[in-house]
């Protein structure tokens, strides 16, 4: 069996292709439910183009155009962070060995260094992905924990242009959740409603909101409802608008955000997560064995930032 303590270090191209790109492209990015940009040159600037709404005019010879499209941009502040994990040699070996033996294409009598490397990579990549997901939702620079940057919730509650809908005292259950969605849609600005046809609007909710909506749907006696109850629903939608679970229930309540119910409506492309491993010369992934402490260690360093591009395109439900 290959030596599990062989040191490994990934930088530049390997850092991108082995670790980060699989986390933020394709199905992995889709599961996050937001817009992800990776390795955009720094400073990370996202252009916002607003074309002229009336460009038609009578035909004449020559150039009679004038104003160009209105161009705006949003700069995403990037923070340099690191992730460090240490395991006792025994715990580390057990986790790696379990990942290896769960694969059908592995010869257990001839475990090579490549098999070990893939298992180590999968273990650390999963830890980094979950930490980034948590940080982008509930990060708060004013909190005691998870405070490396302001995540989307902190920005939703603090940006002045975000519209808050007063729902104080309402208990979210199967009877009230649809009423909540209706009120949020009614309060949405016309610019946000106009984006519905593009299919990217979403209610970003805590798990209890989705549970309440499922309870509401379970009341219908159609055959399709019976099928949903027995096999589950892969995706929940309200009038064509997707419901996305932020997956933060295990961290609630938070010091910065009261209560255990949070929900806001916006376009998925309005929430941007930016990750950069190309413009920081110290960005790396390193895995090694420390014989003095008899501990397997993993470390990652990279740049990350998140931003709401247009806070006026958000409707927030306030339950307190």
Closest Cα partner for 137 from 240, 238, 257, 224?
257
Q: Are 247 and 133 in contact (CB under 8 A)?
A: yes
> 100 or 171: which carries more pLDDT confidence?
171
What whole-number distance in Å separates Cα of residue 286 and Cα of residue 276?
17
Reported confidence tier of residue 109, pLDDT bands at 50, 70, 90: very low
Strands of 108-175, DSSP E: 163-166
What whole-number distance in Å separates Cα of residue 182 and Cα of residue 218?
19
pLDDT at 50: 57
CA 55 remoteness from chain centre: 37
Tens digit of pLDDT for each residue in 188-208?
999 999 999 999 999 999 999
- Output DSSP code: residue 20: I
pLDDT at 102: 61
For residues 20-47, average pLDDT: 77
Residue 214 scores a pLDDT above 60 = yes
pLDDT at 40: 83
Strands of 32-132, DSSP E: 35-38, 44-50, 70-76, 79-88
Tens digit of pLDDT for each residue in 113-156?
566 667 777 778 888 888 889 999 999 998 888 888 999 999 99
- Residues 6 or more apart whose CB falls under 8 angstroms from that of 114 comprise 2
Tens digit of pLDDT for each residue in 237-280?
999 999 999 999 998 887 777 788 999 999 999 999 999 888 88
Residue 157 scores a pLDDT above 80 = yes
Task: Provide the percentage of residues in the chain whose pLDDT is more than 70.
Answer: 78
> 2 or 127: which carries more pLDDT confidence?
127
Tens digit of pLDDT for each residue in 50-64?
555 666 778 777 766
């Amino acid at each position: 069996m290959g030596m599990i303590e062989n040191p490994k270090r990934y930088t530049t191209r390997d850092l991108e292709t082995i670790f980060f790109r699989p986390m933020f492209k394709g199905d992995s990015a889709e599961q996050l439910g937001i817009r992800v940009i990776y390795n955009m040159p720094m400073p990370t600037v996202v252009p916002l183009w607003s074309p002229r709404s009336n460009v038609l005019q009578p035909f004449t010879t020559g150039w009679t155009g004038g104003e160009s499209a209105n161009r705006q941009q949003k700069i995403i502040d990037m923070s340099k962070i690191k992730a460090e994990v240490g395991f006792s040699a025994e715990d580390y070996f057990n986790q790696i060995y379990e990942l290896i033996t769960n694969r059908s294409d592995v010869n257990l009598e001839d475990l090579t260094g490549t098999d070990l490397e893939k298992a180590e990579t999968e273990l650390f990549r999963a830890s980094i992905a979950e930490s980034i997901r948590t940080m982008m939702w509930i990060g708060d620079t004013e909190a005691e924990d998870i405070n490396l940057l302001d995540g989307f919730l902190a920005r939703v509650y603090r940006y002045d242009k975000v519209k808050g809908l007063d729902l104080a005292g309402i208990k979210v259950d199967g009877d009230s959740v649809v009423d909540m969605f209706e009120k949020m849609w009614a309060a949405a600005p016309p610019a946000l409603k106009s984006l519905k046809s593009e299919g990217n609007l979403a209610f970003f909710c805590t798990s209890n909101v989705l549970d309440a909506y499922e309870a509401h749907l379970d009341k219908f006696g159609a055959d399709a409802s019976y099928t949903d109850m027995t096999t589950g629903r892969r995706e929940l939608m309200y009038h064509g608008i997707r419901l996305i679970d932020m997956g933060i229930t295990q961290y609630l309540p938070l010091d910065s955000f009261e209560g255990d119910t949070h929900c806001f409506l916006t376009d998925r492309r309005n929430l941007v997560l930016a990750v950069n491993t190309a413009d920081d010369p110290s960005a790396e992934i390193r895995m090694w064995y420390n014989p003095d402490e008899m501990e397997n260690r993993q470390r990652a360093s990279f740049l990350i930032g998140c931003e709401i591009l247009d806070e006026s395109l958000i409707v927030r439900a306030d339950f307190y």
